[in-house]
Amino acid sequence: MGGVTSSMAAKFAFFPPNPPSYKLITDDATGLFLMDPFPHRENVDVLRLPTRRGNEIAAVYVRYPMATTTVLYSHGNAADIGQMYDYSGYGQSSGKPSEHNTYADIEAAYKCLEENYGTKQEDIILYGQSVGSGPTLDLAIRLPQLRAVVLHSPILSGLRVMYPVKRTYWFDIYKNIDKIPLVRCPVLVIHGTADEVVDCSHGRQLWELCQEKYEPLWLKGGNHCDLELFPEYLRHLKKFITSVEKSPSRRSSSRRSTDRIERPRRSTDCFEAPRKSTDRRERPRKSTDRPEKLRLHEYKFNNMDKLEKFRTSFDQMEKSRRSVDYHEKSRKSIDQQLERARKSVDWLDRIRVG
């Protein structure tokens, strides 16, 4: 049952561009991968990386000689390698999109940075946008010396985007709400106050749960896919990166020194007590960008049927659980009544014998 429900959630969560926005070709002279139709650049490596789940993902590494940190970027659910590396089933990457495939995908990208480019985890900033916040936080909790994390329009969990649940269910995906308290490095959260896809309350609540909070950026009037167009976005992001680059290395004698990824922790699927919201949901403001608004409308329209089906399935499961609880209580009540009747008969027997 869990696999079926997770598959339903995956169908709603992942929308690889079709057709992909690029093609991978091999240069006959050098044997290097090139991205068609994008021009070749000397400081850009195009890669194909194997994952532990048997897939191959496409990735891009951009060199900058003056950089002291490396940003490992995980894109949203409707983009491909135009933003640094693909998930399984996206672009020219093999396999199918799934929660656990994206975890293996970001591990493969991290392993490439470590082994091919000599990058240390204390010099890496993980950046996750939208659904990319899922693999970003899953890796972050297993890198104890990580420099920093950026969450751009992040989600509390997959189910919470679609349904205002107050606890974590075992079939939910990307349980960021349970993982963010385990991240031990500075975290910057960026979210638009008029986000019509992932409500701004997701970002606010994740920020409240951070161990090391950095000044968040709530972009007034910002939607889900336009935050990069705001001048404050680049200014604040640059300020954050400069700040964490100046901070001392996260290596210390009190922590065990290692550059390897820690083993994945056991799933945080246990039910949680309802958390109070840290933010009142703001009413979406009218967008001043008509093409963006039309694209978001098309996004929501094309997936309304899937959302309704998922909600119907969830409601049926919740009703079934409540029905089981009701019958269980009824059975206990009957057992108690029978036990009282039995004791009463025993009492009468003792009187009769006496």
Active site members: 130, 195, 224
Residue 49 one-letter amino acid: L
At residue 73's C-alpha, the angle toward residues 69 and 79, to 5°, is 155
Q: How far is CA 229 from the centre of its chain?
A: 23
Q: How far apart are CA 192 and CA 227, in angstroms?
A: 7
HEC per residue, 76-133 = CCCCCHHHCECCCCCCCCCCCCCHHHHHHHHHHHHHHHHHHCCCCHHHEEEEEEHHHH
Report CA dihedral (248, 254, 257, 259) to the nearest 10 degrees: -60
Beta bridge partners of 45: 61
Cβ(131)–Cβ(14) below 8 Å: yes
Q: Tell me the two tokens of residue 156.
A: 């509390």
DSSP state letter for 182: G
- CA 96 to each of CA 16, 93, 176: distance values in angstroms, whole numbers, following the listed order: 10, 9, 22
CB-CB neighbours of 130 under 10 Å:
25
Unique residue bearing structure tokens 């194997």: 50
* First vs last C-alpha separation in the chain: 59
Residues 6+ apart with CB under 8 A from 173: 6, 9, 10, 13, 99, 134, 157, 158, 159
Beta bridge partners of 48: 58
